[in-house]
Structure 1
Amino acid sequence: MAKTMEQSVNVNEVSRISTGTSMKGEINSPNDIRIDGSFDGKIISKGRVVIGDKAVISGDIICDNVDFWGKMTGSLYVRDTLALKDGCVVNGDLHVKRLSVELGARFEGNCKMLKDGEFEKVAGEVSAAAPASASGAASSAASSPVHSSSKSNLGGVSLK
Structure 2
Amino acid sequence: MARDEINAFLGAGTNYHGKLHFQGAVRIDGNFQGEVVSEGTLVVGQEASVDGQVKVGQLVLSGKLKGEVEARNKVVLHKTADLQGNIRTPVLVVEEGAVLQGELAMGNMDAASSAKPQQDAE
TM-score over 0.5 for the pair: yes
Residues 32, 46 of structure 1: 8 Å contact kept: no
Residues 4, 41 of structure 2: 8 Å contact kept: no
Is 1:50 paired with 2:50? Answer: no
Residues 32, 50 of structure 2: 8 Å contact kept: yes
CA–CA distance in structure 1, aligned partners of residues 10 and 112 of structure 2: 26
Structure (1 or 2) with the greater strand fraction: 2
The 5 A counterparts of 1:48-87 are 48-87=41-80
Q: Match of 2:117?
A: none
Extract unaligned runs of 5+ from structure 1.
Answer: 1-6, 122-160
Is 1:17 paired with 2:6? Answer: no
Q: Is the alpha carbon distance of 1:84 and 1:116 closer, same or farther for their aligned partners in structure 2, counting shifts above 3 Å?
A: same
Structure 1 residue runs of 4 or more that deviate by more than 4 Å after TM superposition: 7-11, 118-121
The 5 A counterparts of 1:1-40 are 9-11=4-6, 14-40=7-33
Amino acid of the residue matched to residue 108 of structure 2? K
Shift of 1:119: 7.7
Q: What secondary structure does 1:64 align onto?
A: strand
What CA RMSD, in Å, does the superposition of the two structures yield over aligned residues?
1.9
Residues 18, 34 of structure 2: 8 Å contact kept: yes
TM-score, structure 1 length as denominator? 0.65
Extract unaligned runs of 5+ from structure 2.
Answer: 115-122
CA–CA distance in structure 2, aligned partners of residues 35 and 79 of structure 1: 19
Task: Give the number of equivalent residue pairs.
Answer: 113
Shift of 1:16: 1.2
